[in-house]
Amino acid sequence: MSSLKTDVLIVGSGIGGLYTALNLDAKLNITIVTNSKIRDCNSYLAQGGVTTVMPGDEDSFIEDTLAAGHFKNSYETLEIVARESWKNIQTLIDMGAKFQKNENGELKFTKEAAHSKKRILFHGSETGKMIMETLIENIEKRENITIFENTELLDLKISENSAYGGFFRNKNKNFSVDSKIVVLATGGIGGLFKNSTNHENIKGIALALAKRHNIETKDIDCIQLHPTAMENPSRRRLFLLSEALRGEGAVIRDADGKRFVDELLPRDKVTESIIKRKNKNNSQIYLDVTALDSDYIKNRFKSIWDECLEIGYDLTSDLIPICPAQHYFMGGIKTDLKGRSSCQYLYVVGEAACTGLHGKNRLASNSLLEALVFGRKAASDINIHIMDITLTENPTSEDEWCPEKAAREIIIRHRGDLKNELRHY
């Protein structure tokens, strides 16, 4: 088996992984590995926007996030995210991120469900895509960063509770990477589910590896369903109808045309109401955007408008059939306030990590902010300590196992009620 050597190994190419890489010292040799194309990640799909906590808004943001998370959040994490939000947004803007502006050239904020005020920065309905393209453009300028696409992580190299690389497969050829630091940014668990808004290649690899190597995890039972995915049996990844639509005035109706839920409640509450109504009447539920100005909708939500039209629905005149679908994983590998896991030299960022920010239910648009704040935190800690680490080259045996099956079993153990929603492996 061939072997590569690098200073920092990052597995995953979403906002968490790329932003971490860009905040690492440019003198370090960085290797990014992703199991598909660099753009095939949930970050790229993010529609609504990124929460931006401006000075003076910290207490309100914390209150909103606590309420959405059923007060199971880490208050210390909330304070850090609130305090460091604008610094990271400003860094994105300096990198070239183009958030929506008003006619005076000032940043324009929108509101999403369960936020008490407008604090979401956005770029049409393709905020994730815009941020990702900005990060990729900056990554391509860095000669110290190498990217391997279509490369599957088979296992971590771990000795005496210290991570020092990983085993990979690319085009049926196996190879290993030795590193001083490993950063997991592999995303959530959506690919394990029959109905999800996630990319299919995101199958809980971090969760499976945590079980395999006795790495501490947290909040495994906290799985979020998004209330407004477009119902479409012919598609494996369901198209998400952004929460920002409801923030702008879209409403939810049953088959009789009745509104039965406050659309701006936290996602779990809206989802619960939809499931109850659907089960009670055994009827279709719809998202109704028709009362909104059609020209505004076509411009503000252009990508959603285009996608709906391609599927066969006119967002401005048709009721759109919806259903709840798995969307986000609040749990994951437990990390401290610097992104460190219980395994030495193993950092975890993004949806693969559980920082305590979300509690039992994620508040809309907080995930992109979390990836930015803790991606930078992890990078800063790595920059400080990496010079003291010697590259380890201990032999590790590699055996066959199925990470997807292992992750599936963990989910069932903690959320047996979702067993029938999961795919078989």
Q: Which long-range contacts (CB under 8 A, 24 or more apart) does 36-41 make?
A: 36/149, 36/150, 36/199, 36/201, 37/149, 37/150, 38/13, 38/136, 38/147, 38/149, 39/13, 39/132, 39/136, 40/199, 40/201, 41/12, 41/13, 41/14, 41/132, 41/187, 41/199, 41/202
Report the DSSP beta bridge partners of residue 110. Answer: 120
The whole-model pTM stands at 0.93
Average pLDDT score over residue span 8-35 = 98
321-334: average pLDDT: 96
Q: How do strand 173-184 and strand 162-170 relate by DSSP bridges?
A: antiparallel
Query: Can you tell me whether residue 394 is helix, strand or coil?
Result: coil
Cα separation of 403 and 217, whole Å?
16
pLDDT, mean over the chain: 95
Q: Residue 145: beta bridge partners?
A: 30
Assess whether pLDDT exceeds 70 at residue 95.
Answer: yes
Residues paired with 11 in a beta bridge: 33, 184
Residues linked to residue 30 through DSSP beta bridges, in sequence order: 8, 145
What mean pLDDT comes out for the span 263-291? 92
What average pLDDT does range 231-259 have in this prediction? 91
Question: What pLDDT is stored for residue 3 in this prediction?
Answer: 86
Rounded average pLDDT over 256-274: 94
Provide the pLDDT for residue 283. Answer: 85
CA distance 157 to 393: 9
If one counts every other C-beta atom within 10 angstroms of the C-beta of residue 360, the result is 19
pLDDT tens track for 353-370: 999 999 999 999 999 999
Residue 397 pLDDT greater than 70, yes or no: no
The vertex-208 CA angle with 204 and 209, nearest 5°, equals 115
Contacts of 354 (CB under 8 A, 6+ apart): 217, 218, 219, 330, 331, 332, 333, 334, 335
Cα–Cα distance, 84 to 79 (Å, whole number): 9
Which is more confidently placed, 257 or 243?
Answer: 257
C-alpha distance from residue 296 to each of 263, 399, 410 (Å): 20, 56, 44
The residues annotated with a catalytic role in the active site are: 267
Q: What is the arithmetic mean of pLDDT over 390-407?
A: 77
Question: Average pLDDT for residues 408-420, to the nearest whole number?
Answer: 95
Average pLDDT of the segment spanning 233-256: 91
Angle at 306 between CA 301 and CA 307, to 5 degrees: 100
Backbone angles phi, psi at 412, to 5 degrees: -65, -40
Measuring CA to CA, which residue among 355, 359, 360 is closest to residue 271? 360
Residue 356, phi-psi category: left (phi > 0), alpha (psi -120 to 50), beta (remainder):
left
Per-residue pLDDT for 1 more than 70?
A: no
**Gap between the Cα atoms of 185 and 191, Å rounded:** 15
Reported as a pLDDT band with limits 50, 70 and 90, residue 398 is low
Q: Answer whether residue 202 shows pLDDT above 90.
A: yes
Helix and strand numbers (H, E) in the chain are 12, 17
pLDDT in tens, 224-233: 999 999 998 8
Burial class, 21, CB count within 10 angstroms (exposed 0-12 / middle 13-18 / buried 19+): buried
Specify the pLDDT at position 199. Answer: 93
Containing H/E element for 300? helix 294-300
275 has a pLDDT exceeding 60: yes
Mean pLDDT, residues 91-97: 98
Burial annotation 31-49 (CB, 10 A radius, 16+ → b, else e): bbbbbbebbbbbbbbbbbb
Kindly list the structural domains of the chain, giving each domain's residue range(s) and its CATH number in brackets, ordered by start: 2-222+330-421 (3.50.50.60), 225-326 (3.90.700.10)
∠ CA 240-35-27, nearest 5°, is 110
First to last CA, the chain: 27
